[in-house]
């Protein structure tokens, strides 16, 4: 009999136990174990593990992984995120791009997502390491597709341009939630308008680059607010949208206000497609990097 777990290791929220659609199989299998060993041996971090992602085994088994660069200490303290908050003190591992490229080769990945913690302690927000990692991965792994999921770099256009010039296949930045809830959900240094400006500037620098963003649902947003955010993203040319259920990592994080049903996620997907997104991934267990390769290929087909 397959073993199951709740997708987050926290107490049940005050709205009651998690519904059955938020249960998933424990990650197992030779591919999963081998990839985990490579991550450990190369002293790397994956957001898959840091964020308790429910889709880790599925993605790793399909040849996709999300690597987290620039350490595992974030300078911001968003109230939905399980990553440790602190001050990394300006430390940067200059050898990290090479180790990431090595791991990609050993894992035989077809698609990699490169993300990071926020690094407000660095003048460039970590954009130099982002760009170097993209270039090194592509140099060492012929045919690899690379997606970056970056912080907002405090809205600094030069930092955004530095990453754009490294030629990722997809440039992703998450707005996370609707405008009304953004001050409650995100760190004060992040805001909805700044995130939109980041996504808009990517298209301004390279109009053909695929852009992507994500919304968490279940934080108290209304249908109208979600649709308004979708319109905002489409108005600046965002190609790919993901929507998933927010789940509380611990008792110290924001509580879940509602569990959005699979049928409502399907409804959002239909509305997003009507608005012109080239790909919409929408479901309770969807995360920003969920089936990232599949989403990119779908967006490519639909852009023609």
Tokens coding 145: 């597709």
* 52-88 as b/e: b if 16+ CB within 10 A: bbbbbbbbbebebbbbbbbbbbbbbebebbbbeeeeb
Whether the CB-CB separation of 218 and 256 falls below 8 Å is answered with yes
Task: Kindly state the average pLDDT of the residues 235-253.
Answer: 95
Half-sphere exposure of 288 (CA within 13 A, CB side): 26
pLDDT in tens, 143-156: 999 999 999 999 99
- pLDDT category, 42, cuts 50, 70, 90? low
Residue with token string 């005050």 = 14
DSSP 8-state class, residue 256: P
The CATH H-level superfamily of 19-303 is: Aldolase class I (3.20.20.70)
How many Å apart are CA 93 and CA 57, to the nearest integer?
28
Whether the CB-CB separation of 98 and 54 falls below 8 Å is answered with no
Whether residue 105 has pLDDT greater than 50: yes
Whether residue 242 has pLDDT greater than 70: yes
Whether residue 16 has pLDDT greater than 90: no
The whole-number pLDDT of residue 83 equals: 87
Most confident of 43-57, 90-104, 220-234: 220-234
The rounded percent of the chain whose pLDDT value lies above 90 is 69
How many Å apart are CA 181 and CA 175, to the nearest integer?
11
**Domain boundaries defined on the chain:** 19-303
More confident residue, 104 or 47: 104
The whole-number pLDDT of residue 2 equals: 38
The whole-number pLDDT of residue 188 equals: 96
- pLDDT category, 64, cuts 50, 70, 90? low
pTM score of the predicted model: 0.88
Nearest to 272 by CA among 284, 283, 286, 282: 282
More confident residue, 4 or 254: 254
Nearest to 232 by CA among 187, 176, 161: 176
pLDDT in tens, 168-221: 999 999 999 999 999 999 999 999 999 999 999 999 999 999 999 999 999 999
Minimum mean pLDDT range among 2-6, 266-270, 280-284: 2-6
Nearest to 151 by CA among 128, 118, 177, 200: 118
The whole-number pLDDT of residue 110 equals: 87
| Rg over CA atoms, the chain | 18
- pLDDT category, 103, cuts 50, 70, 90? confident
Paired with 16 in beta bridges are 13
Mean pLDDT taken over the chain: 88
More confident residue, 50 or 181: 181
Cα torsion angle, 257, 212, 191, 178, sign:
negative
Nearest to 62 by CA among 42, 41, 35: 35
Per DSSP, the residues of 204-247 read: HH-TTSEEEEEEEESSS--HHHHHHHHHHHHHTT--EEEEEE--
Minimum mean pLDDT range among 72-86, 97-111, 249-263: 97-111
Nearest to 90 by CA among 132, 126, 36: 126
Whether the CB-CB separation of 131 and 162 falls below 8 Å is answered with yes
Whether the CB-CB separation of 82 and 50 falls below 8 Å is answered with yes
Task: Kindly state the average pLDDT of the residues 38-59.
Answer: 59
């Amino acid at each position: 009999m397959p073993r199951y777990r709740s997708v987050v290791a926290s107490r049940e929220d005050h709205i009651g136990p998690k519904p059955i659609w938020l249960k998933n199989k424990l990650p197992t299998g030779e591919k999963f174990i081998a990839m985990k060993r490579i991550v450990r041996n190369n002293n790397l971090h994956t957001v898959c593990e840091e964020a308790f992602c429910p889709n880790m085994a599925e993605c790793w088994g399909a040849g996709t992984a999300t690597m987290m660069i620039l350490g595992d200490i974030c300078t911001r303290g968003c109230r939905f995120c399980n990553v440790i908050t602190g001050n990394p003190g300006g430390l940067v591992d200059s050898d990290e791009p090479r180790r990431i490229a090595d791991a990609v080769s050993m894992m035989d990945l077809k698609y990699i997502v490169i993300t990071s913690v926020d690094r407000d302690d660095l003048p460039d927000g970590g954009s130099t390491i982002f760009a170097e990692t993209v270039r090194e991965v592509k140099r060492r792994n012929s045919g690899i597709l690379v997606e970056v999921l970056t912080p907002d770099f405090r809205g600094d256009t030069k930092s955004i341009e530095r990453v754009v010039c490294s030629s990722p296949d997809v440039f992703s930045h998450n707005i996370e939630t609707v405008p009304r809830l953004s001050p409650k959900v995100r760190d004060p240094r992040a805001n909805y308008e700044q995130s939109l400006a980041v996504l808009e500037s990517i298209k301004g620098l390279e109009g053909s680059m695929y852009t992507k963003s994500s919304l968490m649902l279940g934080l108290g947003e209304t249908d109208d607010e979600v649709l308004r955010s979708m319109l905002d993203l489409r108005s600046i040319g965002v190609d790919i949208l993901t929507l998933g259920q927010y789940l509380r990592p611990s008792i110290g994080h924001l509580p879940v206000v509602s569990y959005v049903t699979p049928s409502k996620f399907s409804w959002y997907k239909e509305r997003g497609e009507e608005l012109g997104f080239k790909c919409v991934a929408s479901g309770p267990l969807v995360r920003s990097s969920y089936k990232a390769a599949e989403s990119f290929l779908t967006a490519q087909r639909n852009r023609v």
